[in-house]
Amino acid sequence: MVSAIGPSNLAVRMEPTGIYNHTRGAERVETWSYFCHQLTETYSGENKLSYIHFIEPRFDRIDSAEEKDRFYASWSLGPGTVSNEPFRDIFASGSTPCFSCGGWDGENFRTALEGETRWDAVVFAKWFTSNPDLPDRYASRAHE
């Protein structure tokens, strides 16, 4: 793809914390960290990608407490500690923007943009397609 359209016209969307098809792995953090490091080493400076699009952990897709426990165990991390922050941090040293999608709403999106670990943008995919005035709504709430 890069050779056909150039890196600045290409973005990568990833879901390191995904549970699609019940994917599991003992070295998830190491595997995804390696992938992110390879992207930053290969595509940096003037050769950078357009952006990186992370999908946030979607715990609402987990049906039971038992399944949630297995999910946390597959990461070898404690409850509440699974996030995309370690992968975002890998891109922080470069100039490739990082977007975050999933679980954001009119109340919490500012923490992603203004918080200690800042994302370059927050994506409202499904909400935006059914509410084209969403940016105006959130902007007007900011002035209340």
Please report the pLDDT score of residue 114 as a whole number: 81
Angle at the Cα of 129 from the Cα atoms of 123 and 130, rounded to 5 degrees: 125
In this prediction, residue 116 has a pLDDT band, given cuts at 50, 70 and 90, of low
Q: 136 versus 126: which is more confidently predicted? A: 136
Amino acid, res. 22: H
Please report the pLDDT score of residue 131 as a whole number: 83
Residue 117 has pLDDT above 70, yes or no: no
Distance CA 98, CA 136 (A): 23
> Where do the domains of the chain lie, and which CATH numbers do they carry?
2-142 (3.20.20.70)
